[in-house]
Amino acid sequence: MEDQAHIRTREKPDVQGDAHPKQLLRTIIEDGDNLLPLEHQHILHADQFSAETLLQLFRLAAKYEANPERFSTPLQGKILVSAFYEPSTRTRLSFESAWHRLGGDIMSITDRSTTGIAKGESLADVGEMFNNYADCVVLRDTRQESLMEMRESLRIPIINAGNGLDEHPTQAMADLYTIFKWRPELIKKSLPKDERVSIGIIGVPDKMRTVRSLLKIFSIFPHAFSHVYLFNEEADEANEELIQSFRDRGLNVVQAGSKFDKHVSNLDVVYINAIAWTGDDFETFGTNFVLNKDTPFKEDAIVLHPLARGHELSTDLDDTRFNWYFAQARGAVFLRMALLTCLVHRKGRVLDVV
């Protein structure tokens, strides 16, 4: 009985931030042709698709999210290989949840030593075998190169679910999907400058794959952001070169070092991450940046975090309106449902259904 009472008190409080998929669904006009570039594609980088294709992907995700019980069979008869060789709570389980929700079957590998890799088998040979067993592969690996090594032999799509320090494209897609649900008007290329949002990212782009992928996907929609402030204490020359590449694409990136306190009250979105995986371990960055209920956020600001969190994101923000990080994680399931549907040629089972 005591346990049940505890479960009831953990229901989502009204003040916590949330996203409204129906508004985004109404804002983006359906155009199935713009989903064609996703069919049978490998998902390697956050900036490999056009704005039009991403918006249609977000629309399909919103369609799933607006009516989660409606679609339970689009992936019936399809098989996913879920290969995660680095710890994961959200990415692995949300991909598997997405595939299950759409009626597909899954083979899951969480330890590479249970495969022929332990006997020296190459990833290209493992990929050759996957062609016979499944319709799609999701891979997270500690090594950046693994993705390309496996891709060599694959004739089915592979999704990069985090390759070392390099990229985490579907995390960035889920992050932007959350931002567009929060402010659907940001999708408009003609948005007046004073209606664009100012975002602060606490993180290190050349060491954190989530931050690098986030900046890459932002650079496809530079008109949505008045400023992208980067806060970290680790800026170096490699970082500057990377930042310049985003500026060249029209993103107004400002290196603001440790001056978060100076800017926070003007930021519409605060995105924070503190850890980066390196091999079989992780490093922590920005230990002086901590968000909590005393942080002087703008009245209607939102806080995003790819999670897992450390002490940089206090749990005392969980029950506040600033908390959009749980909605961000929840929305990732629908974003991944949409992506998987398109990759394995099953969008036809969904698009015409109202």
The site for ligand CP (CB under 6 A) is made up of: 88-91, 162, 168, 171, 306-308
Residue placing its CB nearer to ligand CP in the complex, 168 or 346: 168
Q: How far is the CB of 49 from ligand CP (least distance, A)?
A: 20
Helix axes 325-343, 51-66, angle to 10 degrees: 110
- Which tokens hold the place of 188? 């408009």
Report the phi/psi class of residue 164: left, alpha or beta, with left for phi > 0 and alpha for psi in -120 to 50. Answer: left
Q: How far is the CB of 244 from ligand CP (least distance, A)?
A: 27
Residue placing its CB nearer to ligand CP in the complex, 186 or 332: 332
- Which tokens hold the place of 74? 């689009």
* Alpha carbon distance 339, 58 (integer Å): 9
Residue placing its CB nearer to ligand CP in the complex, 71 or 177: 177
- CA dihedral over 28, 34, 37, 41, signed as positive or negative: positive
- CA dihedral over 105, 109, 169, 275, signed as positive or negative: positive
Residue placing its CB nearer to ligand CP in the complex, 162 or 205: 162
Residue placing its CB nearer to ligand CP in the complex, 71 or 99: 99
* Alpha carbon distance 87, 79 (integer Å): 22
Q: How far is the CB of 87 from ligand CP (least distance, A)?
A: 6
Residue placing its CB nearer to ligand CP in the complex, 254 or 307: 307
Q: How far is the CB of 206 from ligand CP (least distance, A)?
A: 18
Q: How far is the CB of 228 from ligand CP (least distance, A)?
A: 20
Closest-CA residue to 328 (of 165, 93, 90):
90
Q: Please name the residue ranges forming H helices in 134-280.
A: 146-151, 169-182, 209-218, 237-248, 260-263
Residue placing its CB nearer to ligand CP in the complex, 172 or 256: 172
The residues, ordered by sequence, that sit 6+ positions from 17 with a Cβ below 8 Å of its Cβ are 182, 302, 321, 322, 323, 324, 327
- Beta carbons of 230 and 243 less than 8 angstroms apart: yes
- Beta carbons of 103 and 76 less than 8 angstroms apart: yes
